[in-house]
């Protein structure tokens, strides 16, 4: 597989956008080089999806790995409870 890394901060072009030279890049400039279509990449439920770092308010910040399946279960459950979703409902 491919592991993409990103070392800059992408910033949307809007009024009063804070900018740090040498670190920031315009989001619009970055995405213009992306393909418009992506092939499906099948993954297992336990494959890593993303890392989320804690704030470190009680100590050193720690990375938490979220898996593909765990994240999908969480989002589906949150959607169900937040919107009282029923099997006959249609959401666009």
Residue 42 belongs to a domain:
yes
Residue 67 belongs to a domain:
yes
Residue 89 belongs to a domain:
no
Domain limits for position 40: 9-83
The number of distinct structural domains making up the chain is 1
- If we measure between CA atoms, which residue out of 8, 53, 2, 61 comes closest to residue 30? 8
Residue 46 belongs to a domain:
yes
Residue 88 belongs to a domain:
no
Residue 62 belongs to a domain:
yes
Locate the DSSP E strands across 1-92. 9-11, 24-26, 48-53, 63-67
Local confidence pLDDT in tens for the 92 residues of the chain: 455 566 666 666 676 777 778 877 777 887 887 888 888 889 999 999 988 888 888 888 888 899 999 999 999 999 989 999 888 988 77
- Pairing label, strands 9-11, 24-26: parallel
Name the 3-class secondary structure at 29.
Answer: helix
Residue 32 belongs to a domain:
yes
pTM of the predicted protein model: 0.52
Residue 19 belongs to a domain:
yes
């Amino acid at each position: 597989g491919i592991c993409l890394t990103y070392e800059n901060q992408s910033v949307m072009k809007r009024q009063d956008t804070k900018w740090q030279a040498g670190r920031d890049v315009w989001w619009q400039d970055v995405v213009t080089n992306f393909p418009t279509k992506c092939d499906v990449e099948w993954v297992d439920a336990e494959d890593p999806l993303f890392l989320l770092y804690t704030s470190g308010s009680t100590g050193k910040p720690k990375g938490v790995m979220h898996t593909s399946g765990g994240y999908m279960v969480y989002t589906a459950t949150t959607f169900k409870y937040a919107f009282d979703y029923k099997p006959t409902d249609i959401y666009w």
